[in-house]
Amino acid sequence: MKPFTTLVGTVVPLNLANVDTDQIIPKQFLKSIRRTGFGDNLFDAWRFLDEGDFHKTPNERELNHEFVLNHARYNGAAILLAGENFGCGSSREHAVWALEEYGIRCVIAPSFADIFFNNCFKNGVLPIVLDNVSIRKLFEEVEQREGYSLTVDLPAQQILKPDGVTLAFDIGAHAKHALINGLDDITLTLEDAAAIRAFEAAHRANHPWYFPQ
């Protein structure tokens, strides 16, 4: 996993609530058995007017110029500013893979769906929850100023705005440590292998019916 420390990036605003993972990466792209190759199809049904499939490259597609990701001023954005309950619906981690491959390393929203939120941390993408007032202000500022960018400082747990204002954010100590160091969760959990084994033995003795004979 790519470590995440400090990110300086352009912000793209997607001012919609309940953006579901079916929109972030539509079902036809879930047939792949790989972890890569999803970036071109991020928000496929919104970014393009024609229906996408595996065999079409972006150059052959009909762009939807109305959709915010296609506005030239947001080219190369690394931070997505979103509405409430971002990433709801399907558990598909492909949604995070698509965002990451497209270049989004940080999503800022008033709230996230639980499974999506967890999936972000496994892929070096930082989901940040901010209060509604700060989010509304960010949307206004992004719209007003072309090239609006933020500095996301994970070790300090704060966002630095162009006007010098800083916004603090929360993150679990474990998730923060793993992100900063690019650590994979499995290695960390296996440090507790002995505890898992001991738990398992007792659990089997108390609840043998959960363990096929």
64 binds other proteins (CB under 8 A): no
Site string for other proteins, 1-30 (x = CB under 8 A): ---------------xxx-x-xx--xxx-x
Site for other proteins in 66-95 (CB under 8 A): 83-85, 88-94
Q: Give the span between the Cα atoms of 200 and 50, in whole angstroms.
A: 52
Nearest Cα neighbor of 35 from 58, 4, 1, 7 is 1
Radius of gyration from C-alpha coordinates of the chain = 20
**Nearest distance in Å: CB 149, other proteins:** 26
Site for other proteins in 120-179 (CB under 8 A): 122-123, 172-175
Please, what is the Cα angle at 30 between 125 and 107, to 5 degrees?
Answer: 20
Residue 100 has which token pair? 């990451």
Judged by CB under 8 A, the residue of 64, 101, 115, 151 near other proteins is 115
Identify which of residues 132 and 166 has a Cβ nearer to other proteins in the complex. 132
Identify which of residues 145 and 203 has a Cβ nearer to other proteins in the complex. 203
Q: Give the span between the Cα atoms of 125 and 42, in whole angstroms.
A: 15
Identify which of residues 35 and 145 has a Cβ nearer to other proteins in the complex. 35
What is the 3-state composition of the chain as percent helix, strand, coil, each rounded to the nearest 5? 40, 20, 40
Nearest Cα neighbor of 108 from 91, 88, 90, 125 is 125
For binding to other proteins (CB under 8 A), which residues are involved? 16-18, 20, 22-23, 26-28, 30-35, 45, 51, 54, 83-85, 88-94, 96, 111, 113-115, 118-119, 122-123, 172-175, 185-186, 189-190, 192-193, 195-196, 199-200, 203, 207-212
